[in-house]
């Protein structure tokens, strides 16, 4: 009879420290290539969303929100409904008396005071000011502009968008402007 060998060969199925370090560094290099563009895209989309939301608030401040009804009448008629014209500049939406501020803008004129009898005149502020006049600029610090029709009547607000350049300016071929119509 042959003697029985009780020695068992044990195989190791674990990673060595060197293999772990190499694997982790390869994963780190791959993430280094893919994470920054993803974060950049997320940040850009967040800025576009914030700009669009602010522009909708500015539109509602100018022409009112037709969804707000009280007593069978529109309760929010905005600057246009109160004063009878579109604002010449967005600063007219926040100051208590735009014609008495030191802020100079084209077309500045006296705005009538609110009359409870005629329900006409400046009845703002229509937009909350953060103290830095942040409502004047988009998320990329470019100033908002009015979109005007052929007669020069404002029909919306626009932002230069992520590239900060307006479509129609010299050398601009891609349209990333953000527009909100009245």
Residues 160-181 have a mean pLDDT of 85
Place of tokens 């969303």: 49
From 45, 73, 79, select the one nearest 59 (Cα to Cα).
79
The band of 167, judged by pLDDT with boundaries at 50, 70 and 90, is confident
pLDDT, average across residues 146-164: 88
Q: In which residue are the tokens 């069978």 written?
A: 72
Is the separation of the CB atoms in 132 and 124 below 8 Å? Answer: no
b/e map of 99-132 (b: 16 or more CB within 10 Å)? Answer: eeeeeeeeeeeebeeeeeeeeeebbbebbeeeee
Predicted confidence (pLDDT) per residue in 79-105, tens digit: 888 888 888 888 888 875 555 566 676
Instruction: Say how many Å lie between the first and final Cα of the chain, rounded.
Output: 101
Distance CA 134, CA 130 (A): 6
Residue 10: the pLDDT is 62
**Model confidence pLDDT, tens digit, residues 136-152:** 889 888 899 898 888 88
Q: pLDDT category, 118, cuts 50, 70, 90?
A: confident
* 51 three-state secondary structure: helix
> 30-34, 45-49, 69-73, 157-161: which range is least confident on average?
69-73
The residue ranges of every structural domain in the chain are 52-181
- Domain 52-181, second-level architecture: 2-Layer Sandwich (3.30)
Name the average pLDDT for the chain: 82
């Amino acid at each position: 009879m042959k003697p029985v060998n009780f020695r068992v060969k044990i195989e190791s199925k674990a990673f060595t420290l060197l293999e772990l370090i190499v694997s982790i560094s390869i994963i780190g290099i791959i993430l280094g290539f893919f994470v920054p563009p993803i974060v950049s895209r997320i940040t850009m989309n967040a800025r576009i969303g914030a700009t669009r939301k602010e522009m909708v608030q500015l539109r509602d401040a100018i022409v009112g929100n037709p969804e707000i009804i009280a007593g069978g009448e529109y309760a929010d008629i905005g600057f246009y409904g109160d004063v009878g014209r579109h604002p010449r500049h967005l600063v007219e939406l926040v100051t208590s008396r735009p014609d008495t501020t030191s802020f100079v803008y084209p077309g500045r004129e006296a705005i009538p005071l609110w009359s409870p009898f005629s329900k006409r005149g400046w009845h703002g502020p229509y937009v909350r000011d953060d103290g830095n006049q942040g409502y004047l600029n988009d998320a990329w610090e470019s100033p908002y502009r009015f979109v005007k029709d052929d007669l020069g009547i404002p029909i919306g607000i626009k932002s230069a968008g992520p590239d900060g350049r307006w479509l129609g300016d010299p050398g601009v071929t891609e349209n990333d402007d953000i527009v909100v119509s009245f």
